Amino acid sequence: MTNNLLFDFTVDKAAKTVFVTREFDADQSLVWDAFTKAEILDQWVAPKPFVAKTKFMDFKVGGRRFYAMVTPEGQERWSIQKYTSISPKTNFKMFSAFADKDENPELPGSEWDYTFSEKDGPDGHRVTTVSITIYNESLARMERMIEMGFTEGFKMLMNNLENLLASRKESGLSPK
Amino acid sequence: METRRDVFQAIADPTRRAILLLIAAQSMTPNAIAEEFHSSRQAVSKHIQILTECELVKHEKKGREIYYHINANKINEIDKWIEQFKNILETQFNQLDNVLLTLKKQKK
């Protein structure tokens, strides 16, 4: 990976929990927006060639987001998320489950806990660290997360990643 | 040939995960495994059967006893799949990097 930003991923299989930490080269309020505003989420959560489409998002405690991953063939795979806790700019928690087109969740789901913090980067930019804890009621459910949205597009997805990295290099963003 | 169960179905059950943990340390006979659980011998034997069907455990005959042990290769399959999940997150975050860059430019 030609990226100098931290990406840490660990799995505790016994606790059915995944821990992810990632740094972003932007200040905390911008990164917070990217995770909590539908119009920005839709720009990055779907690995291409999939497209994300948020039907509604009510970002408040008890509010829900209903969205679909749309395949290149136009097939929609719905998910529903419910926000269980929000501390503006620093933390939010949600319950996420696959759903049918009528917003009925298919249980079991998973619990996501996002924590945001900011520090000075090496070049004077602000760097935001996002720590995510993903608890799955069943590992089988985690497998479906892959199956539902992604395996079929996995090869294309890897190509996308390469293109993305290449375009970063061209724009002079890659680390020395 | 009947359709085999997949490994994820197998490890989705807490008793089966406990069995895997038990025999990861040492190979055991079905009776010895059953003694560790409150459930009936038949129930435990059904769990072992499922684990065997999806090749997470293997058995070996020693004299008159059958011993079950873990199939390390199959356990690796789970790791491979976790790796895929990691790759998806990585891809998402790389896409987010680009989005953030665009947003920062717009602000200027």
Selecting from B9, B94, B100 the residue whose C-beta is nearest the C-beta of A34 gives B100
pLDDT of residue A174: 39
Interface of A with B in 117-156 (CB under 8 A): 138-140, 142-143, 145-146, 149-151, 154
Closest chain A residue to B103 measured between Cα atoms?
Answer: A30
What is the C-alpha to C-alpha distance for residues A124 and A73, in angstroms, rounded to an integer?
44
pLDDT in tens, A68-127: 988 888 888 899 999 999 999 999 999 998 889 999 988 778 899 999 999 998 777 889
Selecting from A9, A43, A48 the residue whose C-beta is nearest the C-beta of B86 gives A9
Residue identified by tokens 């039907």 is: A55
Fold of B7-107: Arc Repressor Mutant, subunit A (1.10.10)
Selecting from B86, B92, B104 the residue whose C-beta is nearest the C-beta of A44 gives B92
Against a cut of 0.80, is the pTM above it?
no
CA nearest to A131, candidates A17, A15, A23: A23
Domain boundaries, chain B: 7-107
Please answer whether residues A168 and B97 qualify as being in contact, where contact means their C-beta atoms are separated by less than 8 angstroms.
yes
pLDDT of residue A168: 43
| Residue with more model confidence, A34 or A71 | A34
Please answer whether residues A91 and A84 qualify as being in contact, where contact means their C-beta atoms are separated by less than 8 angstroms.
no
Please answer whether residues A25 and A6 qualify as being in contact, where contact means their C-beta atoms are separated by less than 8 angstroms.
no
What is the C-alpha to C-alpha distance for residues A3 and B32, in angstroms, rounded to an integer?
51
Structure tokens at B65: 């006893």
Inter-chain contact A140–B12, Cβ cutoff 8 Å? yes
Helices (H), chain A: 28-36, 38-44, 139-149, 154-170
What ipTM was estimated for this complex?
0.70
Q: Is A85 on the interface with B (CB under 8 A)?
A: no
A84-93, A129-138, B16-25, B76-85: segment of lowest average pLDDT: B76-85
Please answer whether residues A10 and A16 qualify as being in contact, where contact means their C-beta atoms are separated by less than 8 angstroms.
no
Question: A7-170 domain in CATH 3.40.50.2300?
Answer: no
What is the C-alpha to C-alpha distance for residues A167 and A145, in angstroms, rounded to an integer?
28
Chain B residues within 8 A of A25 when measuring between CB atoms: 97, 100-101
Flag whether pLDDT at B45 surpasses 70.
Answer: yes
Structure tokens at A94: 């949600």
What is the C-alpha to C-alpha distance for residues B11 and B27, in angstroms, rounded to an integer?
18
